[in-house]
Structure 1
Amino acid sequence: MVVDLYHHLYELLSTDSQLLGLLGIAPEDKDSLSRQIIKQRKLAPLSDVAKPLLSFYATSGKRDTDNPLLLTSFFRLDVITPGDIELAHQIANHLFHLLDGKSLSINGIEGLDTYVVSQQESDTGHSSAYCFTLVTKFTLQVC
């Protein structure tokens, strides 16, 4: 199910016109989509960041002990900009409103509840790149 969440979260993010605008991506520009919305933790060298990036990846997950039909998974979303703190905060704010407290239905997954559980600035190790992170909890019913 977590692998399915990667795909569905990418679909949600890559089709959100406001997010694409903040990232500076034209919806039909598939190359920029795949370079700037990234389904993994490992990135190209951050010293080369010229446009905003959004990296997301699963950090942990488990079945509920009381109800084994409930699966919880945590995803980290790193918003990385070339030193533009305000833009990173705007993107993170939009992601918060897109994901927090929502019950999503994405491509056949019903009852996918999402909550942002933490937000913080993260160290990139590069003075030219700024990162703001959201950790989101996804809970879904496994049938």
Structure 2
Amino acid sequence: MDTIATPRPHERLDVWQDAMQLVEVVYRATSSFPADERFGLVAQMRRAAISVPSNIAEGAARRSTSEYLRHLSFARGSLAELSTQSEIARRLGFCEGTVADSALLDRTYARLNALIRSHERRVREPDAFSESPIPDPQSHA
């Protein structure tokens, strides 16, 4: 019998979906970088890109809002790192424009910041939210 898998909580987040798309964009763009950058800028950019959706997912699986926020903060740091590395690649002439589509990067930043703000409010105003900050963390245990 075929069953349709229910998306995990992080997979339903628009910011996670954007971050996954960003990984694809970075991998495609860095594949044409000079061979001598394979273990340098290419590896760093790919690692930073992968870190964004990975930290969002890990945070969503945590049982407390403070842990979730910590991982969202890591994701935001990796996004800033990727943005900087993209600019470095542009300045070095490895690509035209930035590696990471600036509209996608901006949208990911905006959605990540909005998610962080919403969970920070939960910490400041715990009575305003009666349900768990993390939707059904046991659903895919």
TM-score (norm 2): 0.30
The higher radius of gyration belongs to: 2
Higher-strand-fraction structure: 1
Higher-helix-fraction structure: 2
TM-score (norm 1): 0.30
